[in-house]
Structure 1
């Protein structure tokens, strides 16, 4: 049972392709197929299901053992990092899960700070929803995830970053442009674009608290699409300041009722994290 076979299995599942795995690991496709088959033969159980329509999926046993394989690979990477640090030759890979506004507004600043001190550390990014990031952390696909407190596994270790206020966003020529604070009652007269994605619960909580029922004209999932619709004057919306303040031709104002989300970095265990992950989390604490 070799480490390289674990890496091959994990990569095949991640990429969903023997061909792509071979390219990534600089191997032939037949070598990848042979490695998978030989591990299945050694364990005497099938790990992967090959289906032309559904692609490559894990068997029930595969689903149970893959997290252990990933954990072993993480431990090996930690060993290599410790050796590299001891010999003043930094190395390592940090896999980060992130959502849209964190990717555009928090990650670049953090990476710039970290890379100045640790230029040889590599990164791999996965963008998804709160739920997907939590699942990726739990299964070991990522090392660190941007999360919102209360929306992730309570067992994760957290490094708090910022408090992100919910604000109202509107076209730059809208009547709200002269208002520093917008009353929730003012939204009754507006065509409202209701987000159906990650921060919908925050928006619904604001309307529930103010006992205001918005005139919902559109229900949209994607954050960027919502911002583009506001830019075109199709309506107003409520969303996170972190994201909306970066959008062109979109103006924002505070609301008379406060609602915010607390953004943090999460990992399964800071104590058991690799040296590179620990240093990244430490950098994050000093940046925000």
Structure 2
């Protein structure tokens, strides 16, 4: 089994489409099919199920070996990067996963700084929910992920904290208060913006003995802001997500505060490639030194 064959299998397993994988790999579809057949013959097992109606799917064995094949490719890439670094050339490609608000807040300035100093490093950016990114790092789908902490089973570097804030529509009676307790939100129509904070928010409401009346749930901050502007409820959103979405709404802090930690995670710090280590080091230097909570710092 060759490294090229392993790379072909990973691409097919991730796309679950032989034609698309062949196009992305600049191969013919029969060539891709031949590679998969050769791997399955060597391992004496089926890794993929092919069905004309249902398409392509991983078998149970295929699901088990996929993370291991990804790990092999990551280690090969690490070897190439270390050899290049020994010659004074930083090269490599880093696959980064992040949930949307973390992606918008951290990645643009972070990647710009790295590319200015190391133009031969390239980044593949992927977005998903906080849970999807965490699982993607576990499965080695991403070299590094921006995740909510804690992230059991992963090696992490804390980058920042983000509070949950309230957005109030015009004329709302709670606008006269500088801070708002969770108990004062009892009976209020609430609009919650998804981002991985939902469980923490609901747990804090339960701890205060308040039944969170979640009237609407949105998947992006812009939609939530528009709904609050229309007077449909009080918005609950992370400070980090709000910091990259301009608006004119009144903001209030929640008492007691609801805070989540955000960090960069890898499957193994020991196995991280030079490019991934550079990403983590730059992220740590850029954000960890800003001790204050997001929105109050630099």
- Paired position in structure 1 for 2:36: 36
Contact 2:191 2:218 in 1 (8 A): no
Find 2:157's aligned residue among 156, 159, 166: 159
CA deviations 1:163-221 (Å, max 9, x no partner) are: 111111223664555543223343236322245662112222332333333444x2415
Is it true that 1:253 corresponds to 2:249 in the alignment? Answer: no
Structure 2 spans left out of the alignment, 5+ residues? 288-298
Is it true that 1:267 corresponds to 2:266 in the alignment? Answer: yes
How big is the shift at 1:95? 1.0
Is it true that 1:230 corresponds to 2:228 in the alignment? Answer: yes
**How large is the Cα RMSD of the aligned pairs?**
2.1
CA distance in 2, matches of 1:74, 1:48: 22
- Paired position in structure 1 for 2:197: 199
Q: Which moved more, 1:75-84 or 1:248-257?
A: 248-257
How big is the shift at 1:91? 1.8
- Paired position in structure 2 for 1:170: 168
Where do 1:62-211 residues align within 5 Å? 62-150=62-150, 152-153=151-152, 155-171=153-169, 174-177=172-175, 179-188=177-186, 190-194=188-192, 198-211=196-209
- Paired position in structure 1 for 2:11: 11
Contact 2:95 2:125 in 1 (8 A): yes
Please state whether the residue corresponding to 2:250 is helix, strand or coil. strand
CA deviations 1:53-104 (Å, max 9, x no partner) are: 4321112222222222111111110111112212233321111121121011
CA deviations 1:219-257 (Å, max 9, x no partner) are: 415233433322332111222111123333443211221
Structure 1 spans left out of the alignment, 5+ residues? none
Please state whether the residue corresponding to 1:263 is helix, strand or coil. strand
Contact 1:244 1:250 in 2 (8 A): no
State the TM-score, normalized to the length of structure 2: 0.87
CA distance in 2, matches of 1:42, 1:189: 63
CA distance in 1, matches of 2:193, 2:280: 31
Contact 1:40 1:47 in 2 (8 A): yes
Please state whether the residue corresponding to 2:61 is helix, strand or coil. helix
How big is the shift at 1:129? 2.3
Contact 1:197 1:221 in 2 (8 A): no
